[in-house]
A and B are shown apart, each in its own frame.
Chain A
Amino acid sequence: GAVVSQHPSRVICKSGTSVKIECRSLDFQATTMFWYRQFPKKSLMLMATSNEGSKATYEQGVEKDKFLINHASLTLSTLTVTSAHPEDSSFYICSARAGEDTDTQYFGPGTRLTVL
């Protein structure tokens, strides 16, 4: 099956710093990638959809200036949490659509962000 990786798997940072999370499709090209956030004991919430070479589309209530998304290539999308605060602590998960002729999304293993 299609494999999606994320790096880092876990990050702890101080309040006010920025954190970058990478999402890579390892064995396929992904024109569309998605970023989700999951709080403890809650379901996944879509944050934004990114298409290679164009600006990301953010869901209502998600601050685009705080959560910067870059999808510079067909295999890499990055999410940067700028000026992180403790309330940004969460589990961030990316997914990638595995090709033009399918709607199936494959998910990365997630990144646990803790902001002190």
Chain B
Amino acid sequence: DAKTTQPPSMDCAEGRAANLPCNHSTISGNEYVYWYRQIHSQGPQYIIHGLKNNETNEMASLIITEDRKSSTLILPHATLRDTAVYYCIVRASGGSNYKLTFGKGTLLTVNP
């Protein structure tokens, strides 16, 4: 699976949009981009995933560049409860290996 690069930390003001970048320059054509987050002392929470088109759900939007070498997770109106470590993971679809490899992620701190 392709490696991802994320900033170690980011700050965001409550009520503003939080834009979390992820670089995955070695991504292959069959690899999806997954985003999870982990609030302190809890299990990771699935947020969103995509292949090449932009995706949106009730939690966030995922913007993937046309060359697929980077993506941005957008939390449109960050709240204090969005403070967490956000993980960007790239992995292939299907096959017999469904492993997720977690990097260090980005610690997003939402400030009042």
Interface residues of A (CB under 8 A from B): 1, 4, 6, 32, 34, 36, 43-46, 49, 91, 93, 95, 97, 103-110, 112
- Chain B residue nearest in CB terms to A93: B43
Given contacts A43-B102, A46-B99, A49-B99, contact A103 B46 (CB under 8 A): no
State how many angstroms separate the Cβ of A91 from the closest Cβ of chain B.
7
Could you pull out 10 A-B pairs where Cβ atoms are within 8 angstroms?
Answer: A32-B98, A34-B99, A43-B102, A103-B32, A104-B46, A104-B49, A105-B46, A107-B44, A107-B46, A108-B43
In the complex, chain A residues whose CB is within 8 Å of the CB of B43: 4, 6, 93, 95, 107-110
Number of interface residues of B (CB under 8 A): 23
The A-contacting residues of B in range 1-40, CB under 8 angstroms, are 32, 34, 36, 38
Do A44 and B99 contact each other (CB < 8 Å), given the known contacts A103-B32, A103-B94?
no
A residues less than 8 Å from B76 (CB atoms): none
